[in-house]
Amino acid sequence: MSDRNLQSFPDKAALSRGACQRLVTLAKECIDQNGVFQISLSGGSTPQQLYQLLAETDLPWDRIRWFWGDDRCVPHDHADSNYRMVREALLDRIDADPATVFPVPVDTEDPAAAAAQYEETLRQAFAGQDYPQWDLALQGMGDDAHTASLFPETKAIDEQQRWFVENWVPKFDTHRFTLTANAINSARNIWFLISGDNKRDALQSVWNGPQQPAKYPSQLVRPDHPGLLWWVTEDALP
């Protein structure tokens, strides 16, 4: 993929600053054009600095709708919760109106019902669309080449109809909640944020290895438009 759209940075702080500046510009353009900016947030640790920097900007918060691309099957106050991470890094600091925040309604007793409920939330937010046309979907990538909670050799990888599902992840012996590949690829802009030398081998496989999305799920992210952008620190570059 020599024509990939890549921005590389010396470290995560520089990546976060660059992504924050570009996200503010994109959000303001979308709000000017459509009155709203709808974003699918990634979890984990990489985007935390970006979220903290966003909180210091002058974005029109009431025009932004915050969704999650995936979450863990834990309560919202759990240390592993992606909702909690974003709330602490960003939403509490901007005093976000709860009406603009759409967390996954985690239910550890009935993950399938929780995933179906969130999918209904998405279908209402993106009514009339075949898949959710996010203005921006932020994606991370694990050192096993997963993205969102589409982990290697898991059922959700092959899901073609649903937008959002529960996904049993054997390596963690637990369910996760995740957008499906189609519901990521429908985004107008998709940004991978990747940092750390522990990601280099996975990125090499995703970019230059055989097309084996079951093994390298980040390969599933292949929108049919030029909106895919890779934000990568130099230590993660193959």
Residues interacting with ligand 6PG, by CB under 6 A? 42-46, 70, 82, 140-142, 146-149
Nearer to ligand 6PG, 62 or 197 (CB): 197
Q: Smaller CB distance to ligand 6PG: residue 72 or 131?
A: 72
Contact 133, 227 (CB under 8 A): no
Contacts with 79 (C-beta within 8 Å, 6 or more apart), sequence order: none
Nearer residue to ligand 6PG within complex by CB, 55 or 138: 138
Q: Is 192 helix (H, G, I), strand (E, B) or coil?
A: strand
Going across the sheet that includes 228-233, the strands are: 6-9, 228-233, 190-194, 136-139, 37-41, 64-68, 101-102
Of 12 and 186, the one with the shorter C-beta distance to ligand 6PG is 12
CA 99, 101, 102, 105 dihedral sign is negative
**Min CB(12)–ligand 6PG separation in Å:** 10
Shortest Å distance, C-beta 46 to ligand 6PG:
3
User: Residue 63 or residue 156: which is nearer to ligand 6PG going by CB?
Assistant: 156
CB of residue 174 to ligand 6PG, shortest distance in Å: 12
Q: How far is the CB of 52 from ligand 6PG (least distance, A)?
A: 14
Report the residue closest to ligand 6PG, judged by CB: 140
Q: In whole angstroms, give the CA distance from residue 178 to residue 176.
A: 7
Q: Shortest Cβ distance from residue 227 to ligand 6PG (Å)?
A: 19
**If DSSP codes are grouped into helix, strand and coil, which group holds residue 7?**
strand
Token pair 């990634």 is at which residue?
42
